[in-house]
Amino acid sequence: HPKALLRSIQEEGDYLKSLESQHIVSSDQFNRNTLLQLFRLAAKYESNPERYSTPLKGKILISAFYEPSTRTRLSFESAWHRLGGDIMSITDRATTGIAKGESLGDVAEMFNNYGDCVVLRDSNENSVQEMMHSLRIPIINAGNGIDEHPTQSLADLYTIFKWKPELLVSAEKKITLGIVGIPNKMRTVRSFLKLLSFFPEIFEEVLIIHDGSNEAIFDENQLEQLQQRGLNVTVTTRFNDSLPNLDVVYINAIAWVGNDYESFGESFILNSQSPLKKDAIILHPLARGEELDTDLDSTAHNWYFAQARGAVFLRMALLTCMSQRMERVMDVI
């Protein structure tokens, strides 16, 4: 599958250079050409998982996870190791000066002295911005509260193109995607929708499936912006009725709000008895709850494990592109 995707994307231009000088905060920062070239590089890494260069040799990642994570932290750290770099990891803010009232700005000022890049996860959506003001090294948002999780969404879209590379070469092919969740409350869904809107032509329809509670489904202007970019988004509460029409089901049930998580959609359960299309795929950013039955793991619908695996190669591609910036920043220092 990564080789088929590799063949479907021409190597082009200097689009990846735009990533050298960026913090990665939001999915809005990307564009269609940069995404395609990033996916191409990720597919190249994934096609040759044992053979890659070490552009991060001698560089140090500060992996700061102030909120729990299995996949994002370990896949970033795996990607950094595979590219030859070293890592300092913080998995509990209580072990840092933050527990004594130190500001994130001051912590970030110190990070400049210790590493070449920061990957930050925090349940506070303002944390990335607070650190950015003091950082002279790049920061990657690894999930900030209910706001965004841009590298997760990169891995999500990469998975869809690996599953069906022909979406990129034939305007005839269109898919219907169902997203179970609340864009206003779920960072994975918010970031994913932004990336989808760079490729509106591949979607017959994008359905947002929610539980009919009184939650605001979208932020102010969020739906209008997606529609202005040409994405055909509709909203429904009809879960089982929608499933037979979906080519891709993206399900997520967790939103981090403050320092805790809320679980949504208890009424939405996917299992091997669900009325899925025969060749439909299921994506889930994981961790899973009751909504995704393990009896689907051994079926062809299971693309969620491939989604998590591909995230390592996607993050390798992103870090490779950003590594030039790290060089320059160190020179300035």
Q: Which stretch binds ligand CP (CB under 6 A): 14-22, 236-244, 270-278, 284-292?
A: 284-292
Decide whether 39 or 76 has the Cβ nearer to ligand CP: 76
Decide whether 45 or 304 has the Cβ nearer to ligand CP: 304
Q: Are strands 254-257 and 260-263 parallel, antiparallel or unpaired?
A: antiparallel
Q: Residue 8, interface with ligand CP (CB under 6 A)?
A: no
Q: Residue 285, interface with ligand CP (CB under 6 A)?
A: yes
8 Å CB contact between 153 and 27 = yes
Q: Residue 152, interface with ligand CP (CB under 6 A)?
A: yes
**For residue 282, what are its two tokens?**
């299921």
Concatenated DSSP letters of 222-254 = HHHHHHHTT--EEEES-HHHHGGG-SEEEE--E
State whether residue 100 is helix, strand or coil: helix
Binding mask 184-223 for ligand CP (x = CB under 6 A): ----------------------------------------
8 Å CB contact between 51 and 266 = no
Binding mask 102-141 for ligand CP (x = CB under 6 A): ----------------------------------------
CB of 120 to ligand CP, least distance (A): 12
Q: Residue 181, interface with ligand CP (CB under 6 A)?
A: no
CB of 154 to ligand CP, least distance (A): 12
**For residue 107, what are its two tokens?**
């912590």
Binder among 287, 293, 324, 329 for ligand CP (CB under 6 A)? 287
CB of 179 to ligand CP, least distance (A): 15
Distance CA 163, CA 167 (A): 9
Decide whether 45 or 192 has the Cβ nearer to ligand CP: 192
Decide whether 82 or 284 has the Cβ nearer to ligand CP: 284
Distance CA 288, CA 294 (A): 9
β-partners of residue 88 are 62
Decide whether 152 or 274 has the Cβ nearer to ligand CP: 152
Read off φ and ψ for residue 85, nearest 5 degrees.
-90, 175
Tokens 């990891």 — which residue?
Answer: 89
| Alpha-carbon separation of residue 29 from 33, 53, 196, 292 (angstroms) | 12, 27, 13, 31
Binding mask 237-276 for ligand CP (x = CB under 6 A): ----------------------------------------
CB of 226 to ligand CP, least distance (A): 22
**For residue 259, what are its two tokens?**
């320092």
| CA angle (249, 252, 253) in 5-degree steps | 140
Decide whether 115 or 285 has the Cβ nearer to ligand CP: 285
Applying the rule CB under 6 A, the residues between 13 and 72 that interact with ligand CP are 69-72
Read off φ and ψ for residue 138, nearest 5 degrees.
-70, 150
Residues that bind ligand CP (CB under 6 A): 69-72, 143, 152, 285-287
